[in-house]
Structure 1
Amino acid sequence: MRLFKISLKNVKHNIKNYTMYILSMVVCIAIFYNFMCAGSSDDIEIMKDFTSMRALIGMCVFILILFFISFMNYSTEFFVSRRKKEFGIYTFMGVENKKIAYLFAQEGLIIGIISVISGIILGIVTNRMFMMGMAKVVGENTSIDFEISYTSIIYTFIIFAFILMYSFIREYIKIIRMETSELLKSGRSDMKDYKIKSSWLRFSIGILGLVMFISGGYIALNYLDYNLNMSHVIIISPLLMIIGINLMCRGFITEVVLRISKNKKILYKGTNIINFSSMSFNFIKNNKVLAITSVLIVCCITAFTSGLSTKMMFKDLMISKFPYSVAASVQDKNQEMTVKKAFDSERGRELFNTDFDYIKAELYMNSNFGEYKEKDPIISYSDYERIRNIQLDPLKKNMKIEKPDDNEIVCLIPSNIMGVSFGKEANMNGKIYNICEQKTGYIFSEDIEGNTDMAFVVSDDTYKTIRSSSNKEDIYKYMVISLKNYRETENISKTLDNTGIEFSDAHNFIQRDYQMFNLIYFISVFMSIVFVIAIGSMLYFRYITSAIDEKMKFDIMRKIGVDSKFINKSVIYQAILFFFIPYVIGISGGIFGGIFAKNALNVMGISPILEAIGIFTLIYIVYIFITARKYLREIR
């Protein structure tokens, strides 16, 4: 009982040190609880793709559990480092290591229980908002009632109880095995390691890591050019990048700092003489944390970019599947007159009303998924450009192509075909054409041409040649209209129904059929939040731990008359660099991963990547500021 009271007093005394840990845990546990509720909610269960959604949510829950185990391990190591000297004093007072370890384990459990209970309460308070947000994002108009899921509360508490027990038993064993001298040397340990010598082996390993990192990124960006299978790239590219990041952080960064510090003009400028010695020490001591956080940044940027790309993909989905209000494919004059009459009924309400010819031709090509053999539509370059210039903005902006020569062909890939690329040549009607460009395109509407079919653009002369040798049944006229009120197409649909004419109507686009796209976006945002908390907290705990070791150094500097502004400037500079290294590596990898995800989803432009990096950077800067401020307090 007496030890328990001491534990409670210690928790109250050290509550400021636990603040970052508690806040991080509370937010993450609240997210975890909400995901648990979403997986079993009756309101969410009515959604069309609930089975797939539950599987996706289950995967996120599993990832969160792994994160919590790692996060608690790092945070408890931080707390032990801070308390080593205090534990050593307890030892001199005659307290056994077992009791010290038990005391610390009790403190950890108290803090853990506070975090879990607070996190569950926050999760309960925000649950209805979370569910409503999910329902709205996936296109459901379901009414969400406030409810408390007792099953989710029990599961959340049990899971975190096991994680807490594992984490603090691990530290309990560590403390028991510590010698008294080790407990008392806090603040002096590793001072000799400030004199770090340059190593060609370390430098060579770092160069190898850099090569592997760049190779992984290059494969992610250019796999289509080499017809590599996407499923293989998803394994090979991340593996190369993760190994590369670990090798770079294992000492390569330290080598770079050491080699820069040999330049006396740089070394004796400002606070650099302090910064370079401390940075070398910190990078060597914390290379594992720098590697882990760099990988987490890659995951965070990639996940966030994937979510934003999915959101953008969904926004463009209706336009890509229905680029016109109504489109019809006809082959004779009677059908053409019927469609013209239907379109004329909307006179004055249309944005544009036009038509173009196309031909169905057999094409043979090699792709990264095997041999491709289909009968696909061919259009002329002039018709393509005419349609593109009167079309809605997404098509007009993003689908500009180079004019093909007579022996060239441009491949338009539908947005629903992901990760496909073709070779350099296509065999059409027995003649070989060079594939000069491959573009994500939607010149045809869904349910006519372009839903699962490719489309190809050829020069005007080539089109005339192909048309002259084609059978009549392979020649079509494509008639399209877009209205000012895009989806008000009932009048046209009534006229064309039961005529036997193949047509596509934008009114048939059902948002509910694409719930998974929006759910991926929703989940990726919350997973990115967890990744950001993990990254910032790990770097915070690790960097603040070094304050314990460096406090004596700064005390000596003050005694010999070093100005406080000089020390503050040095600390801020070191904090920025400590966070900057994993940031640069992680953002570089995140750009590779983000471009890969964006290309796999057939999303045009780089705005998802820039938005993901921008939001992450703002949050990251806040963590740097908090860490530098806390570090300055520690060394005073």
Structure 2
Amino acid sequence: MNSSFYLKMAASNLKKNGRLFAPYILMNIGIITMFYIMHAISVNEGLSQMPGAQALSFLLTFGTYVIGIFSAIFIFYTNSFLIKRRKKEIGLYNILGMGKRHIAIMLMLETILIALLCIGLGLISGIALSKLMFLILLKILGFTVALHFSVSLSSVSLTFTFFAIVLLVTLVYNLGHIHLSNPIQLLKGSNVGEREPKVKWIMALLGFITLGIGYFIANTVEAPLQALFTFFIAVVLVMVGTYFIFIAGSIAILKLLKKNKQFYYTITHFTSVSGMIYRMKQNAVGLANICILSTAVLVTLSTTVSLYIGMEDMIDNRFTSDVTISSYLQNSDIQQKVQKLANNAAVDNNVELIDFYQYQTLTSTFVKDGMALKTLDYYNVDSNTVYVLYVTSKDYNQIYNANLSLNDNEVVLVSNNDKFNYPQLLIDSVKFEVVDELDQFADFKKTNDPLNNEMLIIFSNEQVRNQVYSNSSKNDDVEPLSYTSFNINGASSDEIKFNDSLQREINSISQTYMFSKQNTRTDFVSVYGGFFFLGIFLGSLFLMATVMIIYYKQVSEGYDDKLRFEIMQKVGMSVDEIKRTINTQIVMVFFLPLLFAMIHITFAFKVITQLLALFGFSNVPLFILCTFATLLVFAFIYLIVYLLTARTYYKIVK
């Protein structure tokens, strides 16, 4: 047999098994396209011209790695399904006289054809769409960059090499599988697993226990930094629990229903329960994969959309004023110098400064213990650590045009999180009476920021303030920090010019720093816009994988149910009864992963909100809305996929 014969046979096999190979090839093309686009954008020269280029480049490079790792795992997973469905065909070739060496040549040529088709079309579509995707990224970020069409040779080389290796590994796996099997095993390969499964009680029990522990951990975490660590533990436990419940727990429940004779021995329940037992055994891992991928889609999209939409809320929480300038008082005229620079920049850029104020503060760090603030032991920092700012009633009166008068033993407090709620305050054993608690002082306000526990204390005068500071810091060298804050009134373009101009001037002053909403917004857009873009990409990838598993599950169900359909007819069931029974089973099996995914994200809600707090996001109602909207859209797509793949299923059965 010459090489052209094997080539024709390989091409014929791909065509003949089009129902199996077409989705596999399309999926590979889509994954390769996404991989190329992500890497090409990460190395695009235009990226370096954008604000926050370093953060964006890191996010996109990270996305490339995630897509690559996930793609390799998923291609291998779908390939294992394909080779299982083709075992009977390959076994028949072996019995008809083709040696395993000849079969290996045929499989190798099939893999080469698939690789050339997938990598070739994937690169072509990736190159064609990369500019469009970059423009979409620019639109999301709100940036304008001069863009020219180019082909990234490094991206082409990496994409070709990576996926060629992945497909080569699948070929080696297939050849090893065929080599270790005899013809009889191959002929029976696609029918393996038809015996009624036994209940694995220990696995089922472990599944419910690990899932319960995962849910418990996710809902008992109180601090965002703690959530960062416990989230991954909870994820692993929930994933293990999901697999165990689908593999063993579902069969255990169905077997218990089967033991209930009053329930089981009716026409509808008898056929449904017995059929579901076989379905759950054959599809348990696939259903668990669908569940986990569905959860990944929901979490990825809901969080990244929330961060992107909630950027303005995060900026407003961080800044009360449009601009805040901090500087150490190296000399007495630093405040006047900062004010003069701000006024000059305002005149030069045609904007007006409003709500202008300045004040001085000293800072210390303590450990809060009830009503007492104790000197911090730097070797024992915990959640009770509080960052304290000292100001005077003089500053308060100047800012608010008020007439606050305090005795030397009296203070007024402002906390960024929970109120102090004690009548007295002890600062290293020095007692003060708490006259009042305010919600805000200048740009210090209640933010409910779980990462930063801060308190501002208003003293009667500078002498008391400085003495308390010296006692707590064990330092007689008092060097206050000056704050200058104001809002800007003017055209948006003029505000940007003003910020840039003033930033340059402030950078020239030693130990003086400028923070503005405009600059922070630019940084946030770069980071959270990048997250949003990456979330859409990864969400689409996970969705594509979910659709593929669903499709192959339906195809597998169709081939298995074809024989069951004939058996049910032979034992006297009508066509309508059979359709009703099988349809009930398929709907239950199909929507079980979606139901579990909804349960997973419900129990993960608290820990996810804590993780979002690490990014400064505290708008829980917005996150609820984004999660609910994502869930509705995903459920709709899931339903459409079911209806489309169900058509393929019924064609096979008929």
TM-score by length of 1: 0.75
The 1-side partners of 2:367 and 2:23 are apart by 57
Aligned to 1:444: 443
The 1-side partners of 2:184 and 2:361 are apart by 85
Contact 1:314 1:518 in 2 (8 A): no
**Which of 584, 589, 614 is equivalent to 2:600?**
589
The 1-side partners of 2:95 and 2:420 are apart by 75
Contact 1:139 1:515 in 2 (8 A): no
Contact 1:208 1:244 in 2 (8 A): yes
Contact 1:303 1:524 in 2 (8 A): yes
Question: Per the alignment, in what secondary structure is the counterpart of residue 416 of structure 2?
Answer: strand
Aligned to 2:42: 39
Partner amino acid, structure 2, of 1:32: F
Aligned to 2:526: 515
The 2-side partners of 1:577 and 1:155 are apart by 43
Deviations, residues 86-139 of structure 1 (Å, cap 9, x unaligned): 223323321223323432342233233212222212111111111112233334
1:412 aligns with 2:416: yes
Q: How far does residue 52 in structure 1 lie from its aligned partner after superposition?
A: 3.8
Moved more, 6-15 or 570-579: 570-579
Deviations, residues 253-295 of structure 1 (Å, cap 9, x unaligned): 2222333444556546774433322322232334333344433
Deviations, residues 52-74 of structure 1 (Å, cap 9, x unaligned): 43333333222222222222222
Q: How far does residue 142 in structure 1 lie from its aligned partner after superposition?
A: 0.2
Aligned to 1:236: 233
**Which of 375, 378, 381 is equivalent to 2:388?**
375
The 2-side partners of 1:27 and 1:125 are apart by 13
Aligned to 1:162: 165
**Which of 531, 542, 546 is equivalent to 1:535?**
546
Question: Per the alignment, in what secondary structure is the counterpart of residue 145 of structure 2?
Answer: coil
1:9 aligns with 2:8: no
1:62 aligns with 2:65: yes
Contact 2:392 2:460 in 1 (8 A): no
Q: How far does residue 32 in structure 1 lie from its aligned partner after superposition?
A: 0.5
1:121 aligns with 2:124: yes
Contact 1:410 1:456 in 2 (8 A): yes
- Report the CA distance shift for 1:209/1:61 in structure 2 as closer, same or farther (over 3 A): same
- Report the CA distance shift for 1:44/1:319 in structure 2 as closer, same or farther (over 3 A): same
Q: How does 1:322-341 map to 2 (within 5 A)?
A: 322-325=319-322
Partner amino acid, structure 1, of 2:247: R
Aligned to 1:249: 246
The 1-side partners of 2:237 and 2:627 are apart by 21
The 1-side partners of 2:227 and 2:587 are apart by 37
Identity %: 17
Contact 2:290 2:593 in 1 (8 A): yes
Partner amino acid, structure 1, of 2:535: S
Q: How far does residue 554 in structure 1 lie from its aligned partner after superposition?
A: 1.1
Aligned to 2:638: 620
1:632 aligns with 2:631: no
Partner amino acid, structure 1, of 2:613: N
Contact 2:323 2:486 in 1 (8 A): yes
Question: Per the alignment, in what secondary structure is the counterpart of residue 185 of structure 1?
Answer: helix
Q: Which structure is larger by alpha-carbon Rg, 1 or 2? A: 2
Q: How far does residue 557 in structure 1 lie from its aligned partner after superposition?
A: 1.9
Aligned to 1:396: none
Q: How far does residue 454 in structure 1 lie from its aligned partner after superposition?
A: 5.4
The 1-side partners of 2:128 and 2:497 are apart by 48
Partner amino acid, structure 1, of 2:284: N
- Report the CA distance shift for 1:59/1:14 in structure 2 as closer, same or farther (over 3 A): same
Structure 2 residues not aligned, in runs of 5+: 327-334, 369-379, 401-409, 433-438, 467-479
Partner amino acid, structure 2, of 1:12: K
Question: Per the alignment, in what secondary structure is the counterpart of residue 153 of structure 1?
Answer: helix
The 2-side partners of 1:54 and 1:529 are apart by 20
TM-score by length of 2: 0.73
Aligned to 2:177: 174
Q: How far does residue 31 in structure 1 lie from its aligned partner after superposition?
A: 0.8
Q: How far does residue 152 in structure 1 lie from its aligned partner after superposition?
A: 1.7
Q: How does 1:183-332 map to 2 (within 5 A)?
A: 183-185=186-188, 188-193=191-196, 196-198=197-199, 200-219=201-220, 222-224=221-223, 229-263=226-260, 267=264, 271-325=268-322
The 2-side partners of 1:266 and 1:443 are apart by 70
Q: How far does residue 233 in structure 1 lie from its aligned partner after superposition?
A: 2.4
- Report the CA distance shift for 1:564/1:478 in structure 2 as closer, same or farther (over 3 A): farther
The 1-side partners of 2:517 and 2:594 are apart by 44
Aligned to 1:392: none
- Report the CA distance shift for 1:4/1:445 in structure 2 as closer, same or farther (over 3 A): farther
Q: How does 1:545-556 map to 2 (within 5 A)?
A: 545-556=556-567
Deviations, residues 480-499 of structure 1 (Å, cap 9, x unaligned): 7686978876999999x99x
The 1-side partners of 2:566 and 2:392 are apart by 77
Contact 1:229 1:369 in 2 (8 A): no
- Report the CA distance shift for 1:361/1:249 in structure 2 as closer, same or farther (over 3 A): same
Partner amino acid, structure 2, of 1:160: F
The 2-side partners of 1:259 and 1:368 are apart by 53
Contact 1:486 1:506 in 2 (8 A): no
Deviations, residues 336-360 of structure 1 (Å, cap 9, x unaligned): xx99xx9xx99xx99x979999997
The 2-side partners of 1:596 and 1:514 are apart by 21
The 2-side partners of 1:2 and 1:158 are apart by 28
Question: Per the alignment, in what secondary structure is the counterpart of residue 643 of structure 2?
Answer: helix
Q: How does 1:482-521 map to 2 (within 5 A)?
A: 506=517, 511-512=522-523, 514-521=525-532
**Which of 592, 601, 616 is equivalent to 1:602?**
616
Q: How far does residue 472 in structure 1 lie from its aligned partner after superposition?
A: 7.5
The 1-side partners of 2:643 and 2:111 are apart by 27
The 2-side partners of 1:277 and 1:379 are apart by 78
Q: How does 1:336-415 map to 2 (within 5 A)?
A: 364-365=366-367, 372-376=385-389, 411-412=415-416
Q: How far does residue 620 in structure 1 lie from its aligned partner after superposition?
A: 2.4
The 2-side partners of 1:32 and 1:455 are apart by 44
The 2-side partners of 1:600 and 1:491 are apart by 31
- Report the CA distance shift for 1:320/1:374 in structure 2 as closer, same or farther (over 3 A): closer
The 1-side partners of 2:442 and 2:566 are apart by 71
Structure 1 residues not aligned, in runs of 5+: 388-405, 414-420, 434-439, 458-462
The 1-side partners of 2:191 and 2:233 are apart by 44
Q: How far does residue 422 in structure 1 lie from its aligned partner after superposition?
A: 12
Question: Per the alignment, in what secondary structure is the counterpart of residue 562 of structure 1?
Answer: coil
The 2-side partners of 1:442 and 1:20 are apart by 62
Deviations, residues 476-517 of structure 1 (Å, cap 9, x unaligned): 99987686978876999999x99x999976556551575122
Question: Per the alignment, in what secondary structure is the counterpart of residue 86 of structure 2?
Answer: helix
Q: How does 1:458-473 map to 2 (within 5 A)?
A: 471=464
**Which of 104, 116, 119 is equivalent to 2:107?**
104
Question: Per the alignment, in what secondary structure is the counterpart of residue 374 of structure 1?
Answer: strand
